[in-house]
Amino acid sequence: MCQDCGCDSGPPLHSHPHAHGTPHDHPHDHGHDHTHDHTHDHTHDHTHERTILLETRVMAKNAALAEQNRQWLAARRIRAINLISSPGAGKTLLLERTLELLRDRLPCAVLVGDVQTDHDARRLQGKGARVCQIETRTSCHLDARQVGQRLPELFPVGGPERLLIIENVGNLVCPAAFDLGEDLKIALLSVTEGEDKPVKYPTLFHQAPVVVITKVDLMPHLDWKMERCRAAILQVRPDARIFELSATTGVGMTAWIEFLEQWVA
């Protein structure tokens, strides 16, 4: 029975006349439950199947870790690039020359991913940047967890580094599916590959606002059409910024280095 009005446990809606503004409450509830102890006889014999609707990203975990990396780096005013190309496109040589040219101008650290060996990390030692190698073993790409684990050792507290260069495992497919927490994906393509690679691997080239065409010193020996390649890049990424260079001869390196300095600044 309701203690306010004496109504008989009442319907949910009943009213008590009172002046407007009178503080009052209705502390009783009319809750009930369906607990009971008798069994029901289910005559059907199927199991209780149900569908759970989710609509969640499969890569959500990697994406969350990538976002952590991004915030960790941003809190230290460090910008990060993720270099992606097929094996042999010239990532490591470009990095060697880049580190030499950035020395004393832009302090940076390098994280190198390879399926096996630390050959690339050794090539990059002694050029003024801290270098860390991740051997991915069976895996064909770096993921955000691997990168996050290495950040504290790459960037000791109070260090001068402003740029993290991640050299991903040589592969045009898999690394494109894994956000590492970088600010910029850069795709490399050498003139010894097909000019139409950007349209063959649109997932990566679409994600890369910057494309570097390497080994241009070899062009006289090849039937490589720069314009065809540029058109293929722009087809999947119409606003792509394209650099043409040779780390061997140094052609085009100045524009590349200036771009990195301005981008970090």
Partner 1 sequence: MHELNIAMALVEQIREFMVKENAHELISATVAVGALSGVEADALAFCFPLAIEGTPMQGAQLHLEPVPVRLRCRSCEAKSQPEESHMLHCVVCGSGQVEIVTGHDLILQSLEVS
- Where does this chain bind partner 1 (CB under 8 A)? 47-62, 139-141, 143, 173-174, 176-178, 198-200, 202-204, 206, 234-239
Q: Which is nearer to partner 1, 70 or 206 (CB)?
A: 206
- Give the distance, in angstroms, between the CA of residue 54 and the centroid of all CA atoms in the same chain: 22
Q: Name which of 73 and 233 has its Cβ closer to partner 1.
A: 233
Q: What is the DSSP string of 157-213?
A: TT----EEEEE--S-SSGGGG---S-SEEEEEEETTS-TTHHHHSHHHHHH-SEEEE
Residue 145 CB, shortest distance to partner 1, in Å, is 11
Min dist. Cβ of residue 226 to partner 1 (A): 19
Nearer to partner 1, 199 or 218 (CB): 199
Min dist CB 258 to partner 1, Å, is: 26
* Least distance in angstroms from the C-beta of 203 to partner 1: 4
Residues with Cβ within 8 Å of residue 218, at least 6 apart in sequence: 191, 192, 224, 246
Longest dimension (CA), the chain: 101
Cβ atoms of residues 150 and 134 within 8 Å: yes
**Of 93 and 234, CB closest to partner 1:** 234
Between residues 65 and 101, which has the closer beta carbon with respect to partner 1?
65
Q: Closest approach of Cβ 136 to partner 1, in Å?
A: 10
Asked whether the CA dihedral 75, 79, 84, 87 is positive or negative, the reply is negative
Gap between the terminal Cα atoms of the chain: 74
